[in-house]
Structure 1
Amino acid sequence: MPESVLATSPALGGASEPTLLERIRGRAERYDRENSFFTEDLDELRAAGYLRPRPLLQVVRDQRLLAAHAPATALGLNMHLVWVGVARVLAARGDHSLQWVSDEADAGELFAFGNSEPGNDLVLWDSLTTATAADDGGFSFTGTKIFTSLSPAWTRLGIFGKQQDGPDGPRLVHGFLTRDTPGWRSLEDWDTLGMRATQSHTTVLDNAVVAANRVSRFLPVGPNADPFVFGIFATFLLSIAAVYAGIADRALELAVEATHRRTSLRTGAAYAADPDIRWQVADIALSVDALRPELETLAADVDAVRDHGADWFRYLTGAKHRATETARRAVDRAARVSGGGGYRNSAELARLQRDVLAGIFHPSDTESIHSTVATNLLGPA
């Protein structure tokens, strides 16, 4: 897919009509207000080739640009892009076991991420969902998954659970449900402060069967360095970071626009000439500008199979942490610069304030990130 597809795709009516990104931004407020799924965005992005496999570096750039126009649309599609990215990470390292994921994504299938569980702070190292082997080599899964973005539209759902009676003891089983598989249901319970268009409903699994040819990995319980796990962490953390970097980009744009729009009654000059306001805008830019080299360098390193050894998780979790925290500060500063109008529900900045808060809930959280970095530098406690 050409790198410029998001910026250059015109409307069907001709070059004088809004671009793809302009149309997407134009729908974001409605999706948020109605708490509805981004159906039109998905249709247009699929037609533009946005769901197809591509290098992680391009995904990071694309997601940052898309998030600057519609954060919830970008966040929802992250989950599809993670699974496609895992297949690419494995293939680059000589493992083509998920080539079918790339092929199906290229054909238009939509992958979702069904790994998060209520009360499971071990994330990928253990599961509260049970996986039971079937005679034909498949597995049935029973448990509850939360934050299932793309719930109204996914056609493939990546899940995992724990098989207690594995050949050598308990083990984790990863696989992909198809939407026509019986044994799962969506609770349609997504009613949140922000990122509403992702429609990340709770998914209940009740002996939902994954066919043998869609079982993707058997892994031990506990931390491990399997490339499958690395692929999930690398693509998830960097693409999530890109979404929040995009929110920070838009906050800076809105702050700049506000300084030219607002005029001081006291001085008669635009706020863009006020030294305090100028400092605030410059300070936003200084922090936002630092995100690009970090995110793009790490993404390029994943693509190039560069080996950072034990430092990888420190770098990846740190990148996610810095992007989400920078975005939160950028939106806050932009609100201060923009004035009281940004406090109205109809203001884009008000929506960004709600959307950016979701960054603190994505793995890895601040506490586990600091633990990861301390362990990397100081060894186990």
Structure 2
Amino acid sequence: MGRTVVSELWPDVGDLLPTDALDSIAAGAARADESGRPDPASLDLLRKIGWPALAIPTDFQGRGASLLESCAAQRLLGRADPALAVAVNMHIFTIGLTVEHWRRNSDVSWLLIEAIATQNRLVASAFAEPNLGGSATRSTLTAKQVPGGWEVTGKKYPCSLAAEADLVCLQVAAPGQDGAAPQVLVAMLPTNAPGLSVVENWDAMGMRGSASNTLVLDRCVIPDELVFYQAPAGAEDDDVLAAGVIWFSLTASAVYLGLAESALRAGRALLGTQRIAHLNSTRANLPSYQAALGDPYAALLTLEAGCAAVAARMDAGADPQRLLPAALAVKQQAVRTVPDFVSAIAEACGGASYARGGELARLWRDAQAVRFHPPTPVATRQFLGRSALGVPASLDLDESAPSLASKESR
């Protein structure tokens, strides 16, 4: 990779993610793609440099990275190994969610984040499920109350680093008490808890090294003391939830910005050496090829500026509810901008970019995964459209909008 050039848009996070560590991680990216598993040496290196404590406040023995600094670090990691970056982004998002919860509630959740920092624990995030439509505020897994906790059976998929992490953060549904609305419980469990197992069935086109396997819960009991958040199912008028969605939307977008920069680096190298014989010039020096990348690059720079600006506003104390549409807009733009940018580079490089073992082919495949992270594009599009019209908006897909109609009538 060579020495990282610090962008004017991002803080220098070289102390959090040294250049030599990035170079080592980049060296394992192709191996991870080929094997369909994260490179063990890269994971070990992240632990060695204290990556699990990145976004944990220094008061709790963490590295104290802000959201903007976390995005900057994830951008650099996305340049080195996008699949590893998107996998550990689930850890970053979970830490961000937990810290935001603690800041608003000042409860015993600080014990959890301090333990993660001091014990260098890696957290997997098991919020995705089949048949949810990308919702983060519901679960198809219904927990049954038992003495001391909640018993639950079901599957979480895809769950990045399910087999490699020390802890897993997950949400499950619980019946409401005395006729109240169903609840969603968010808890953190050790991955060696009784009733938890992993089925290694991840075999995707791209992001192959993210190890996004299936987490199976078989009569798994979640102790009451490990439930750190509870809210009505589908409820979104909550600062903690909004802050968590903002953390995920921005840090995930930063990963894909790093991927795009890596594709640009690879494209520069190819275009600078590929010659058009009858013009006696490299493609990089021809106006037609230069112009072909102009608009996609402008879109990428706009996305990068938006991501950094919204992260900075969150760090400055903006209201998460009011900032949420902007953060979701950043993520929604990434869904189009990054794949289009990588495709434009690949097209400019011609058949050389289509080689199965080539870096550009791998990055093109990895870029397609940006379409599938919740909140999904369909749900986000609906939310942003309703926000634009000034009507109540929800990240739950709601084709007939009965819940929104009831809000409007109140």
TM-score, L = length of structure 1:
0.92
- The Cα RMSD (Å) is 1.9
Identity in percent: 26
Q: 2:90 aligns with which of 57, 79, 97?
A: 79
- Structure-2 residue corresponding to 1:172: 184
Unaligned runs of 5+ in 2: 1-10, 57-64, 393-400, 402-410
Residues 1:329 and 2:329 are matched in the alignment: no
- Structure-2 residue corresponding to 1:23: 24
How many angstroms apart in 1 are the aligned matches of 2:171 and 2:234? 14
- Structure-2 residue corresponding to 1:126: 138
Report the CA distance between 1:324 and its aligned residue: 2.7
Residues 1:8 and 2:18 are matched in the alignment: yes
| Secondary structure at 1:5 match in 2 | coil
Structure 1 residues 110 and 2, CA, compared in 2 at 3 Å: closer, same or farther? farther
Contact 2:314/2:323, CA 8 A, preserved across alignment: no
User: Number of paired residues?
Assistant: 370
How many angstroms apart in 2 are the aligned matches of 1:39 and 1:228? 33
How many angstroms apart in 1 are the aligned matches of 2:181 and 2:307? 39
Report the CA distance between 1:304 and its aligned residue: 2.3
| Secondary structure at 1:186 match in 2 | strand
Residues 1:339 and 2:350 are matched in the alignment: yes
Letter in 1 for 2:318: R
How many angstroms apart in 2 are the aligned matches of 1:165 and 1:307? 29
Residues 1:350 and 2:351 are matched in the alignment: no
How many angstroms apart in 1 are the aligned matches of 2:316 and 2:213? 35
How many angstroms apart in 2 are the aligned matches of 1:333 and 1:224? 37
Deviating more after overlay: 354-363 vs 300-309:
300-309
Instruction: Extract structure 1 runs of 4+ deviating beyond 4 A.
Output: none
How many angstroms apart in 1 are the aligned matches of 2:14 and 2:252? 21
Structure 1 residues 303 and 92, CA, compared in 2 at 3 Å: closer, same or farther? farther
Letter in 1 for 2:235: P
Residues 1:98 and 2:109 are matched in the alignment: yes
Residues 1:231 and 2:232 are matched in the alignment: no
How many angstroms apart in 1 are the aligned matches of 2:88 and 2:177? 34
1:177-196 pair list within 5 angstroms:
177-196=189-208
How many angstroms apart in 2 are the aligned matches of 1:238 and 1:95? 25
How many angstroms apart in 2 are the aligned matches of 1:211 and 1:115? 18
How many angstroms apart in 1 are the aligned matches of 2:16 and 2:90? 19
How many angstroms apart in 1 are the aligned matches of 2:114 and 2:66? 15
How many angstroms apart in 2 are the aligned matches of 1:153 and 1:36? 10
How many angstroms apart in 1 are the aligned matches of 2:21 and 2:299? 28
How many angstroms apart in 2 are the aligned matches of 1:68 and 1:215? 35
Report the CA distance between 1:148 and its aligned residue: 0.6
How many angstroms apart in 2 are the aligned matches of 1:94 and 1:3? 29
How many angstroms apart in 2 are the aligned matches of 1:151 and 1:135? 27
Structure 1 residues 281 and 256, CA, compared in 2 at 3 Å: closer, same or farther? farther
Residues 1:314 and 2:325 are matched in the alignment: yes
Unaligned runs of 5+ in 1: 10-18
How many angstroms apart in 2 are the aligned matches of 1:291 and 1:49? 29
Cα distance per residue 1:29-70 (max 9 Å; x no partner)? 111111122321111011112221221111100111110111
TM-score, L = length of structure 2:
0.85
Cα distance per residue 1:254-311 (max 9 Å; x no partner)? 22222211111111112222110111233332122112221111112222221264x4
How many angstroms apart in 1 are the aligned matches of 2:193 and 2:69? 33
Cα distance per residue 1:6-29 (max 9 Å; x no partner)? 6635xxxxxxxxx21111111111
Contact 2:134/2:379, CA 8 A, preserved across alignment: no
Letter in 2 for 1:8: P
Contact 1:170/1:220, CA 8 A, preserved across alignment: yes
Contact 1:113/1:149, CA 8 A, preserved across alignment: yes
- Structure-2 residue corresponding to 1:44: 45
Contact 1:252/1:281, CA 8 A, preserved across alignment: no
